[in-house]
Amino acid sequence: MNKNIAFLTLAFSFFCLAVSAQSRSTLNFNGGWKFKKTNENVVAKTEWESVSIPHTWNAEDMQLSKDFYEGEGQYKKEFELGEEYKDKRVFLRFEGVGQVAQVYVNDKLVGTHKGSYSAFCFEITYAVKPGSKNTVLVKVNNKARKDVIPVNHFLFGIYGGIYRPVSLIVTNKLNISTTDYASPGIYLSQKDVSPKSAEVNLAIKIENKLSAPQEITIKTTVYNKEGKSVLAKSTDERVTMQGRQRFEQNFTVENPHLWQGLDDPYLYKVVTQILQKGQVIDEVVQPLGLRKFEFAGKKGFFVNDKAYPMYGVTRHQDRWKYGNALSNSQHKEDLDMIREMGATTIRFAHYQQAEYIYSQCDTMGFVIWAEIPFVNTYTSEEGDNAKQQLTELIRQNYNHPSIYVWGLHNEVYGKTPADFPAALTRDLNEIAKIEDPGRYTVSVSGYGEMERPTNLNADIQGMNRYYGWYEGKIGGLDKWAESLEQKYPDNKVVLSEYGADGNVFHQKEQALLGDTFNYTLPAYPENYETKTHEIQWPIIAKHPYIVASYLWNMFDFATPMWDRGGMPARNMKGLVTFDRKLKKDAFYWYKANWSKEPVLYITERRTTERTQQATQVTVYSNTGQPELYLNGKKITAAPQVVDVPVHYVFDHIELKKGKNMIKTRTTKDGKSYTDEVIWNYNGK
């Protein structure tokens, strides 16, 4: 027996003790895997290599060019189960496999799943051999397919691999369902939420694999944040042997502590148990955040009848040299940076993201948008898969209080309202409303006209507008918003994407840049991205009709089919670089506008080689009007305030030949803040 198998055997020995003593057990199943690529064009002698999950085989090649490995890879793992498993149900749950997975246990196919971004759970009870060694083989394929969304690698790459955690779940033969689209089997709905009371409905799905109907008690206990029980409800039920059965409980939380977004993301804990003869035979724990969302048009967005500013960013999940195989600490680092910048809402684009992410948003208080990868184009063959993925998205994430809207599609177009994209979007909207009538739905167009034939098939119309980048001038966003409000004052509209690329290795003084850009050029100066956001955020802020806006993107990300702006396979519209090491100027622009943390920041700090002797110095400050010093001498002229009260510009600053020290200083509440940069003027 090799070391890996010995370790797993020992781990399972301890685990088996737990199985016999607990109602349900979940085992981390991420270690001890072997992997190899198995495409026909791969050398036949490819050896198995040891890997740990999460893992992707595209961690680097998909981030460098369009010449990445697309096709099949195989994962295998050996493990032993004790005799204790003979009277148990055993399941394998995969949180994310890119993108088609076939799972075999002891050479028996136990299930196939299509879709890279949602979880799936297969029962393996009838394939495993308790008391013996068992083998799991997973065939994974990330080749783009016409019947699986997304249908290509264009807007983002479909990384191959088992890139999210795997777990082995053991239950009794009567259990809360694990295979209802890999949901927790518990669904918490709420209505009439107020500071006085909140009505909660709990639906539970139960399966009985015993040889006779069973009498059970369903007990639900709600605990507050301090761990104290605030209410309990028990109902007696009879579970037959036929089919998955649904039961419901209703209860009222009196004087609830409400979930109030970032200000107070208060969570209750709901523990639902199945009991027989006083013994717990299964148990599931879910979060409960009591809140009411309202999208009230130009009046704004409200959480529990309180106005909530929707300062939004979008987020792709991949990272330089890791691909999408990220740890929880890396996910948390992303959320922490988003929080630092002052964002209040996140659009998770363009697919279901890690379960940890949604849970952290519940805990941190972000209001979030979750969506499926029906993006970019269509083939007319992906309808069934899109419906499957939307059902998975909703059922798996139903209980997360942070989610306010389900996204149905992004930039998928037809020529008439009867064409495939519009018809499928209507079907998806219907599914969302049946599955979860308590949340909004949204679809997104890349055009600015409401009359587009695929539009108006969801509660909210999202529009992606890249003025100054893909069309028009940067300031064109203003007339677009005015025109839309005049024509459609009662429509619910969000600015679902806006921005421009910025390559931190390309610098050009902002004063030399215009308000349009040819994105086919080989250089994408960071300064133009900064200018775009400096102009467009004040426009958004003055138009309450744009209830929510989502800048594109929080982080640079891989686009393997692209070769633009001097950086192949990269979308550089992020405010933070792909490796998360450098925050661009635009990051601090939004931090100064949105965050309550003090910000004093001189822009163009990487534009160190200056060509203009008389130049501008721009300072972002939410700590008051800044002072400016050039080579130790204070500039006496006051700065100009541009559009918003954090944007200060000092004009006609005369640089000397050679090295120049630029320093700024403010004082607020008795505390001093400083920032400085060094610019070199070549004197030509």
Phi, psi of 443 (to 5 degrees): -130, 160
Residue 162 CA from chain centroid, whole number: 18
Domain architecture of the chain: domains with CATH: 3-173 (2.60.120.260), 186-288 (2.60.40.10), 609-681 (2.60.40.10)
Do the strands 97-98 and 403-410 form a parallel or antiparallel pair, or are they unpaired? unpaired
Supply the pLDDT for residue 82.
87
**pLDDT of res. 43:** 55
Contact 382, 146 (CB under 8 A): yes
Residue among 470, 478, 589 at smallest CA distance from 527: 589
Query: Angle at CA 353, nearest 5°, toward 75 and 136?
Result: 20
> What pLDDT does residue 22 have?
59
Report the pLDDT value the prediction gives residue 14, as an integer from 0 to 100: 38
How far apart are alpha carbons 180 and 177 in whole angstroms? Answer: 6
Predicted TM-score of the model (pTM): 0.95
276 vs 139: CA distance, rounded Å: 40
User: Distance between CA atoms of 17 and 261, rounded to whole angstroms?
Assistant: 41
* Cβ-contact 112, 102 below 8 angstroms: yes
Q: Which residues, 6 or more positions from 612, have their beta carbon under 8 angstroms from its beta carbon?
A: 509, 511, 512, 655
123 as an active site residue: the answer is no
The owner of tokens 């890119």 is 98
Q: Can you name the residues that pair with 270 across neighbouring β-strands?
A: 222, 286
Tokens of 479: 């007339």
Of these residues, 411, 526, 529, 604, which one is catalytic?
Answer: 411
Give me the pLDDT at residue 460, please.
Answer: 98
Helices 383-397, 420-435: crossing angle, 10 deg rounding? 30
Computed on alpha carbons and rounded to an integer, the radius of gyration of the chain in Å comes to 27
Residue 319 structure tokens: 């990272």
Tokens at residue 5, please?
């198998």
* Alpha carbon distance 581, 306 (integer Å): 36
The two tokens of residue 12 are: 């399972």
The residue assigned the tokens 């539970």 is: 204
Query: What is the torsion angle, in degrees rounded to the nearest 10, for the CA atoms of residue 391, residue 461, residue 424 and residue 156?
Result: -70
Given this model, what pLDDT does residue 41 score?
67
The order of strands in the sheet holding 640-641 is: 600-602, 614-621, 647-654, 640-641
Q: How far apart are CA 594 and CA 311, in angstroms?
A: 7
**Average pLDDT by stretches of 10, the chain with 684 residues:** 42 41 85 92 75 97 95 96 91 98 98 98 96 96 97 96 98 98 98 98 98 97 97 97 96 97 98 97 98 95 98 97 97 98 97 98 98 97 98 98 98 96 98 98 97 96 98 97 96 97 97 94 96 98 97 97 94 98 98 98 97 96 98 96 98 96 97 98 82
